[in-house]
Every structure is written in structure tokens, then in C-alpha cells.
Amino acid sequence: MLIQVCLYFYCKFLWRCLKFVMRKLTGRCELQRICYNTKPGASRTMKIETSLRESKSKLLQTSVSVHPDAIEKTIEDIMELKKINPDINPQLGISLQACLLQIVGYRNLIADVEKLRREPYDSDNPQHEEMLLKLWKFLKPNTPLESRISKQWCEIGFQGDDPKTDFRGMGLLGLYNLQYFAERDATAAQQVLSDSLHPKCRDITKEEISKFSKAEWEKKRMDKAIGYSFAIVGINITDLAYNLLVSGALKTHFYNIAPEAPTLSHFQQTFCYLMHEFHKFWIEEDPMDIMEFNRVREKFRKRIIKQLQNPDMALCPHFAASEGLINM
């Protein structure tokens, strides 16, 4: 443990020495070198974020958590601290502003998402009830809901006759995401729902046929299903998206697609993408039954994280929910 601590401080000392030497050789501070030598997007923003957080200057350390309205003034203060003439280096201020908008925006997005996650579904709240009923209408436009408390909710993947109990883990965030998917990408959402309700026939070997009666064979033939509970899986994928956001894994994606601050719409669009991809992944994995859900989900999570480790990665879905959000 002591060796690791010593090694950490030794490396940090060497890094500061290297920064000092580079400034003397190039005549530029680290922020300038990053902005001038790194292309816009996640690569640049993440390097800027690391540089600011690890700086000895309190001003630079706190700049990643300022209010969005204070970003412009913060950049002026940074330029003054670093003795950089904005008239000679006008592009630096523009680049830093873009990076700080993304960094501060990501932090604020976590707060917004967390607020929704912590808000429980309240059946006495008319707005909550309206959102839930809209979810049904978007997913089942040709089937009227007979009553608020109904076994019909199972048709879109809830566990019982009152969906409010299924939102406990993710709060309103789960409902927000499901409604966004069902409304903004209605065709795809209805197709995924339809697929989730239908079993998939599987091939049976001759050896298996010989072991079963006709009735047993038909049952065995149909026991391997695409089927899963659409709404419950949607809430579970919401949990996945939430954890990717909070862990910082989604920074590469958001810093590459959002030219300024990522918003709740960007997060919901990412949820839609994950729903699409998980559905395809579930079919490709060909699980025996729903009991394999956790295994498939974990494998899917690892694949997404691996993709997000690429600084050029953007989970760019080309479907209705993403229109207006990509390349803004």
C-alpha cells in the first residue's frame, strides 16, 4: 500500500515537471495544447476535464462545477490566470466554452435524472396518471384500457394489474423513458412489444423427438421464446442507462453528439437506442427462457461499456427518436 502511494505521488510529480517543461518549450499551457492539438468531441472535452480537475489552481478545479450562466466569466478568469490574451487566442475561449458547457451539462444531467429516479410514482398525482395512460395509448392505440386497475397492463409487460408497483426501483424515470420511447418511436416500440409477446419456434433434434409424445414435443418446441416483459425490461434498461450515466461511461457518447450541454432528451434518446440494441441482442443470444435475463443483460452491459471506451464512440441510433438530437 505504501509503495502504491509513493508511486502515485512520484508519477504526479513527474507529470507536473513534464507540464512545466512542455510549457517552456511550446509557450503554451496544457489547456492550449489540448485545444489546439485534439479534435473537438469526447477526446478534447475529457482531456480538458481531467486537466481542470487535477490542476493546483482552485479556480480551475471548481470550473467544472460552476453554474452554466457563470461559464463565460469563468473562462475569462482562466484566461487571465494563464496570462493568455483573448485577442491573440480567440479560438481558445470558444473551445473552452464548448468543453465547459458539456462538462457542466453532464453534471447537471445527472442531477436531473437522479431527481426523476428519486420521485416515486403517485397514483394520486394527475400528471403521473396521465403519463401512464398515455403509455398505454401509444403502445396499444387500437385497444381501449377497460379500467385503471386491470390485468390488461400485463399485455405491455407489467407484472400485475397496477403498474405503479413496478416503478419503485427507478421511480418516475422509468415511466418517462417508456413513454418517450412509445411516443417518439412508436412504430419501433410497438414492434418490440409485439416481438416480446410472441414465442419463437426452435429446431428440435431427432433424438429429442423420439423422447417426447406429440403434445410434449409441441410444448418443447415452443418453450424457447423471444418473450420478455416489455415494460419491466424497459425499467431494467433504464437502470442500465442510469448507471452508465452516473459512472461517467456515457461521457464519450454525450460529448460526441451534444455540441453543448447534454439534456434529458439526449438521455431518453440513449435509452431508446439501448432498448433497440438489447432487443436485437436478446434475439441473437437465443436464451432458453426469461431466467437467463440477468446473464444476457450483463453480457450486453459489458459490450456497451467496451464500445464507450472508444473516445470516438457515439451511440448514434438512426430512428425517429434521435431526429434533431444528432449533429446539432
200-242 pLDDT, tens digit per residue, is 544 444 454 444 454 553 444 444 446 899 999 999 999 999 9
Residue 229: the pLDDT is 93
The pTM of the whole model exceeds 0.85: no
Write out the three cell numbers for 80.
487571465
Are 98 and 168 part of one and the same domain? no
Are 147 and 68 part of one and the same domain? no
**81, 97, 118: which is the final residue of a domain?**
118
Are 292 and 311 part of one and the same domain? yes
Residue 89: the pLDDT is 83
Residue 219: the pLDDT is 47
Instruction: Please report, for residues 76, 82, 92, 102, 147, the alpha-carbon distance to residue 29 in angstroms, rounded to integers and kept in the order given.
Output: 15, 7, 11, 21, 65
Residue 289: the pLDDT is 82
Are 186 and 48 part of one and the same domain? no
Are 81 and 152 part of one and the same domain? no
Residue 139: the pLDDT is 97
Instruction: Calculate the CA 222 to chain-centre distance.
Output: 34
Residue 287: the pLDDT is 87
Burial of residue 189 (number of CB atoms within 10 Å: 0-12, 13-18, 19+): buried
Give the structural domain span for 39: 25-118
Write out residues in the chain with pLDDT < 50, as ranges: 9-11, 13-15, 18-25, 27, 201-206, 208-212, 214, 217-225, 317-328
Residue 316: the pLDDT is 67
Residue 197: the pLDDT is 86
Residue 90: the pLDDT is 84
Are 76 and 196 part of one and the same domain? no
- Domain annotation covers residue 16: no
- Domain annotation covers residue 189: yes
Burial of residue 22 (number of CB atoms within 10 Å: 0-12, 13-18, 19+): middle
The DSSP call for residue 317 is -
Are 235 and 282 part of one and the same domain? yes
